[in-house]
């Protein structure tokens, strides 16, 4: 067993870190939160240095990469790039969808602009009546020759108002069985009949908007169907495996940053005449935070490695999603405790982490969904 990254992965990581450190500072990140604008210049810098084309088809100037490398990239962009991770997480997830299910024309349409520093595809699945139950969608379409007409309402869609495309799920109004009626579409957000608005969220101002999408008689050519018509549900399950894995790279990065901030702070903050890190109660937190960060890393990269080796990750990706989402919340909470008022008042990044990490236990499949969808599969072995 070898836990080391390859030479190439290590060099890529160094190079990406250097690019991020040069193109976005903590001050830039804070400004992007205040103004609620995505830092497009830094995003373009990632594109110019070729980092957005990693994993894209070679025919489009992309560079082949396995999931392990993509998860490594997601981890680094979350660790050093702040909100850049919002676009990257969507980009990496939907790149896989396009590669697995998309036609060359669709890949060119969406990824062509993406790898040059354009926008990723947002995810349009959740609806007011379809959260954890993603098969319960009511957004539907009717076929008219070689086009479809879509009507419905999506919500909680990350960055949809900032993206040029949305990966949309809708069901064929003519079919009852929800598992056999769902189809995925590539929806250009400037299509007539599409209206996208921003919703307020925990933590307040953010450069990563959470949106609502209203679809009013939206006409799309059938060539915008991603994958096979009526095959949306199994495609969605595949999407989730990658989406959750890439999202947990963010949980790891944020937990690690929070831990590092807290550890450094504990050595420098003096109370009762000595640094607070000299108290066992603080050391216990340092120990637990470090342990959880390392466990998250191990689980995350093991799942990535399993996907690369074509292993079944239905159980493992859910264990990883549940563990990382929860451990990240625990680590950030402990880090905040160590930092005291600094974590609650002012503008330390731990404040952002505290608000944003909470959604990891709800989005992309909640804790409860991970458990009830996976426990029966675990039990099948016995």
Partner 1 sequence: MDILVCFKLSPDSKDILVSNGAINTDRAEWNVGEYDLVAVEAAAQLAAATGRKLIGVSVGGSQLANTRFRKNMLSRGCDSLSLVMNDALVQADTHKTAVALAAAVTEIGNYDLIVCGEGSQDLYFRQTGIQLGELLGLPVINGISALNGIEGSVLLAERSTDSGIEVLEIPLPAVVCVTSDICQSRIPKMKDILQAGRKPVKELDAAGIPCDATGSEIIKVALPKSVQRKAVNFSGTPEEIADQIVAMLAKEGLMPGGM
The contact set with partner 1 (CB under 8 A) reads: 7-8, 10-12, 14-15, 18-19, 22, 49-51, 53-54, 63, 65
Rounded distance, CA 8 to CA 11, Å? Answer: 5
Q: Under DSSP, is residue 279 helix (H, G, I), strand (E, B) or coil?
A: coil
In order, the DSSP letters of 176-197 are --HHHHEEEEEEETTSTTEEEE
Closest CA to 314 of 255, 252, 249, 234: 234
The listed partner (ligand FAD, partner 1, none) that binds 49, CB under 5 to 8 Å by sort, is partner 1
Name the closest residue to ligand FAD (Cβ): 131
Closest CA to 225 of 172, 178, 176: 172
The listed partner (partner 1, ligand FAD, none) that binds 197, CB under 5 to 8 Å by sort, is none
Closest CA to 232 of 317, 125, 148: 125
The listed partner (ligand FAD, partner 1, none) that binds 264, CB under 5 to 8 Å by sort, is none
* Minimum distance from residue 137 beta carbon to ligand FAD (Å): 10
Rounded distance, CA 77 to CA 57, Å? Answer: 21
Cβ atoms 164, 119 nearer than 8 A: yes
* Minimum distance from residue 37 beta carbon to partner 1 (Å): 25
Rounded distance, CA 310 to CA 381, Å? Answer: 20
Looking at the chain, which runs of residues are DSSP E strands?
Answer: 121-124, 140-144, 147-158, 165-172, 182-188, 194-199, 210-221, 225-226, 270-271, 274-275
The listed partner (ligand FAD, partner 1, none) that binds 18, CB under 5 to 8 Å by sort, is partner 1
* Minimum distance from residue 38 beta carbon to partner 1 (Å): 21
Burial of 9-36, coded b for 16+ CB within 10 Å and e otherwise, reads beebbeebeebbeebbeeeebeebbeee
Of 51 and 233, which has the nearer Cβ to partner 1? Answer: 51
DSSP 8-state symbol, 153: E
* Residues lying near ligand FAD in the complex (CB under 6 A): 122-126, 131-132, 156-158, 210, 359, 362-364, 366, 368-369, 372
The listed partner (ligand FAD, partner 1, none) that binds 157, CB under 5 to 8 Å by sort, is ligand FAD
* Minimum distance from residue 227 beta carbon to partner 1 (Å): 27
Which helix (H) or strand (E) segment holds residue 291: the answer is helix 280-308
Of 25 and 103, which has the nearer Cβ to partner 1? Answer: 25
Of 243 and 316, which has the nearer Cβ to ligand FAD? Answer: 243
Rounded distance, CA 335 to CA 317, Å? Answer: 26
Of 179 and 372, which has the nearer Cβ to ligand FAD? Answer: 372
Of 32 and 359, which has the nearer Cβ to ligand FAD? Answer: 359
* Minimum distance from residue 359 beta carbon to partner 1 (Å): 30
Residues, the chain = 382
Of 54 and 109, which has the nearer Cβ to partner 1? Answer: 54
* Minimum distance from residue 268 beta carbon to ligand FAD (Å): 33
The listed partner (ligand FAD, partner 1, none) that binds 309, CB under 5 to 8 Å by sort, is none
The listed partner (ligand FAD, partner 1, none) that binds 372, CB under 5 to 8 Å by sort, is ligand FAD
Strands 210-221 and 274-275: unpaired
Gyration radius from the chain CA atoms: 21
Closest CA to 350 of 337, 359, 361: 337
* Minimum distance from residue 67 beta carbon to ligand FAD (Å): 20
Rounded distance, CA 39 to CA 31, Å? Answer: 9
* Minimum distance from residue 263 beta carbon to partner 1 (Å): 17
Of 24 and 276, which has the nearer Cβ to partner 1? Answer: 24
Of 115 and 248, which has the nearer Cβ to partner 1? Answer: 115
Q: Under DSSP, is residue 166 helix (H, G, I), strand (E, B) or coil?
A: strand
Cβ atoms 123, 157 nearer than 8 A: yes
The listed partner (ligand FAD, partner 1, none) that binds 193, CB under 5 to 8 Å by sort, is none
The listed partner (partner 1, ligand FAD, none) that binds 366, CB under 5 to 8 Å by sort, is ligand FAD
* Minimum distance from residue 289 beta carbon to partner 1 (Å): 23
Of 8 and 26, which has the nearer Cβ to partner 1? Answer: 8
């Amino acid at each position: 067993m070898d836990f080391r990254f390859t030479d190439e992965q290590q060099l890529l990581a160094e190079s990406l870190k250097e690019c991020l450190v040069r193109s976005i500072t903590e001050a830039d990140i804070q400004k992007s939160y205040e103004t609620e604008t995505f830092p497009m210049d830094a995003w373009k810098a990632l594109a110019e240095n070729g980092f957005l084309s990693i994993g894209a088809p070679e025919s489009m100037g992309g560079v082949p990469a396995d999931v392990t490398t993509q998860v490594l990239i997601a981890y680094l962009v979350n660790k050093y790039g702040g909100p850049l991770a919002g676009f990257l997480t969507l980009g990496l997830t939907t790149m896989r969808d396009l590669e697995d299910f998309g036609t060359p024309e669709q890949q060119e349409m969406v990824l062509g602009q993406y790898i040059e520093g354009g926008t990723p595809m947002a995810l349009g699945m959740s609806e007011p009546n379809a959260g954890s139950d993603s098969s319960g969608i009511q957004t539907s379409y009717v076929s008219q020759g070689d086009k479809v007409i879509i009507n419905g309402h999506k919500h909680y869609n990350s960055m949809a108002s900032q993206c040029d495309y949305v990966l949309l799920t809708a069901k064929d109004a003519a079919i009852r069985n929800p598992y056999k009626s769902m189809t995925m579409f590539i929806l250009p957000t400037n299509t007539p009949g599409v209206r996208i608005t921003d919703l307020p969220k925990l933590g307040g101002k953010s450069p990563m908007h959470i949106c609502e999408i209203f679809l009013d008689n939206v006409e799309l050519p059938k060539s915008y169907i991603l994958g096979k018509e009526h095959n949306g549900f199994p495609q969605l399950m595949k999407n989730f495996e990658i989406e959750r894995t890439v999202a947990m790279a963010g949980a790891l990065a944020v937990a690690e940053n929070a831990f590092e901030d807290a550890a450094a702070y504990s050595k420098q903050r003096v109370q009762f005449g000595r640094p607070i890190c000299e108290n066992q109660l603080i050391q216990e937190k340092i120990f637990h935070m470090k342990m959880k960060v390392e466990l998250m890393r191990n689980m995350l990269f093991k799942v990535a490695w399993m996907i690369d080796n074509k292993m079944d990750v239905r159980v493992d990706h859910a264990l990883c999603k549940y563990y990382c989402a929860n451990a990240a919340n625990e680590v950030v909470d402990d880090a905040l405790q160590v930092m005291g008022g600094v974590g609650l008042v002012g503008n330390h990044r731990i404040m952002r982490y505290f608000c944003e990490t909470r959604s990891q236990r709800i989005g992309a499949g909640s804790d409860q969904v991970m458990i009830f969808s996976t426990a029966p599969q675990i039990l099948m072995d016995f």
